[in-house]
Amino acid sequence: MSGVAQGASRLAGRVALITGASRGIGAAVAVRFAREGAHVVLVARTVGGLEEIDDAVRARGGSATLVPLDLRDFAKIDELGAALYQRYGRLDVLVGNAAEFGHMAPLGHYDPKLWSDIIALDLTANWRLIRAMDPLLRRAPAGRAIFVTSRLARDAPPYYGPYAVAKAGLETLVRIYAGEIAANTSIRANLIDPGIARTRLRAAIYPGEDPDTVPPPERVADAFLALALPECTKNGEIVTL
């Protein structure tokens, strides 16, 4: 997937919604998509972070719409879907990237509110995105949905709690969705396990790790681009980097 041509405008005229877009992988994907001609709709909680990425997108000749939003406010996801319909009439690419780790602890030691908050953001918000954006993806010539997972979903290591549980649920969720859309739509839905990348979430999981030894998030952006292209035929797959 790293062979995707640079600056080829392969997403020209397309609208891409990216969650968790204010930093890390979401920000890198936003800049990459914008370089390929997409109008990027950037969702995150931090206004300052969104404005920084907006500057980076515009510096490369791209365009963006900023949406400060906590995805755990599920009604706002529905409102965002309605707003996108009113403005664009469709959605070409959905990237579900936003996630929170919490902390390492035995299952029985997790505070119930923190557990619920992580499951809400890492799993339920992605279902709400599918629910709200599926009608818009169906109106696109080649709708593409991409969600970010982790090997922790399959390894189920001790002490990784709600994050690993949510990612396991997310993998099942997306595979179900991929099966439902396979026969009668042009939508394709897949997951990416980005592996090691220098992100704030990774720093929370591995606090003793030297960030200078970790590859930057930009290294994974081409893999997202490949799954966003109309010619992508993958569906229901987990792309591991």
- Residues forming the active site: 163
- E strand residue ranges, the chain: 15-19, 39-44, 63-68, 93-96, 144-148, 188-193, 238-240
85-91 — which CB contacts under 8 Å span 24+ positions?
85/135, 85/136, 88/15, 88/136, 89/136, 89/139, 90/15, 90/136, 90/137, 90/139, 90/140, 90/143, 91/15, 91/16, 91/17, 91/133, 91/136, 91/137, 91/139, 91/140, 91/143
